[in-house]
């Protein structure tokens, strides 16, 4: 299995419209890999979450981190899709692309994807790196030393 280049954009707020658009465009809902995407959708898009949904999403949260978590799901046309709810109320949306040996072509593809995601979600900033975890907050965003691409400022 080859490595992946993870591409993220910083969206300063959390909105049902943004989540719904990302899910509809990029997430493979027929085979999402993680069924908690349905609990996420009910909680963050539809506003109809129940206790079981809350418990399912709590499983994603690191201990002691109120509200923050990352959901990893299968993507439609990319290797993986990520939705991160940050500790400071922002959203990080991400897609993983396979990174074959031709790093320059992969970086060009990542640049195009960053531009597309920034435009589509009015994101002020984006970054990309190999096997890069999504940032949990603004300070983590700035400390992503392994980022190969960085555009804009959150």
* Stated length of the chain: 154
How far from chain centre, in Å, is Cα 4?
Answer: 14
State yes or no: pLDDT of 30 exceeds 80: yes
pLDDT in tens, 93-134: 999 998 777 778 888 999 999 999 999 999 999 999 988 999
Closest CA to 150 of 133, 121, 125: 125
Cα atoms in the 13 Å half-sphere on the side-chain side of 20: 9
Tell if the pTM clears 0.85, that is, is over it: yes
pLDDT in tens, 54-81: 999 999 988 776 778 999 999 999 999 9
């Amino acid at each position: 299995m080859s490595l992946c280049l993870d591409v993220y954009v910083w969206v300063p707020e959390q909105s049902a419209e943004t989540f719904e658009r990302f899910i509809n465009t990029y997430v493979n809902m027929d085979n999402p890999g993680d069924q908690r995407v349905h609990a996420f959708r009910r909680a963050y898009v539809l506003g109809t979450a129940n206790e079981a949904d809350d418990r399912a999403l709590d499983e994603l949260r690191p201990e002691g981190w109120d509200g923050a978590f990352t959901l990893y799901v299968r993507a439609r046309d990319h290797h993986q899709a990520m939705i991160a709810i940050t500790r400071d109320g922002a959203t990080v949306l991400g897609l993983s692309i396979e990174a074959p040996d031709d790093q320059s072509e992969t970086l060009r593809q990542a640049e195009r994807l960053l531009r597309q995601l920034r435009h589509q979600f009015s994101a002020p900033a984006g970054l990309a790196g190999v096997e890069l975890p999504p940032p949990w907050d603004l300070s983590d965003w700035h400390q992503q030393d392994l980022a190969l691409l960085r555009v804009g400022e959150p």
